[in-house]
Amino acid sequence: MTDTLSPEQRSILMSKVLGRETRIEKLVRSLLHKRGFRFRKNVQKLPGSPDVVLPKYNAVIFVHGCFWHGHYGCRKSRLPTARRSFWEEKRQANLERDARKISGLINFGWRVAVVWQCALEKPASLSQTMDKLVDWIDSKNDRCEIPSNL
């Protein structure tokens, strides 16, 4: 599949992608709030500034876009064919940064969950995703990844 945009147009488009306050982050926070959870968002003092911080449960949640964070096996994470080496390097840097963030949080005693974008797409999967996330928050498990079946 060829890119329908020129490199300059693609660059402008990609530069507008924000790192926080994404649609999927807002969705997860809204659904957690409706279920009675109170949290803080993007806490700068913690490694990686997690998307959702639940101090009462000693838990943090990252809401990852499948493309940007390289969700293995997900159709949304396919790299573009144009400038492939650039995207591979960019994704690899993101994966390494994610691993450092999670390690740092675990070293500080936090429990860490990662919710992938693809788990939030359909109403049925959205409900299941939130049920799993709530079960994890109430549990004592250190890690959670949703979806974990890929």
How do residues 23-45 score in pLDDT, each as one tens digit? Answer: 899 999 999 999 999 999 999 99
For 48-103, how does the pLDDT look when each residue is reduced to its tens digit (9 = 90+)?
Answer: 999 999 999 999 999 999 998 999 989 888 988 888 899 999 999 999 999 999 99
- 79-117 burial, b if ≥16 CB within 10 A, otherwise e? eeeeeeeebeeebeebeeebeebbeebeeeebbbbbbbb
Q: For the chain, how big is the Rg over CA atoms in Å?
A: 16
Domains and their CATH numbers in the chain: 19-146 (3.40.960.10)
CB atoms closer than 10 angstroms to residue 60: 28
Reported as a single tens digit per residue, the pLDDT across 103-118 is: 999 999 999 999 999 9
Predicted pLDDT of residue 83: 86
Confidence (pLDDT) at 124: 83
Q: Over 50: is that where the pLDDT of 150 sits? A: no
Does residue 56 or residue 13 have the better pLDDT? 56
Specify the pTM. 0.85
Q: What is the DSSP string of 79-92?
A: PPSTTHHHHHHHHH
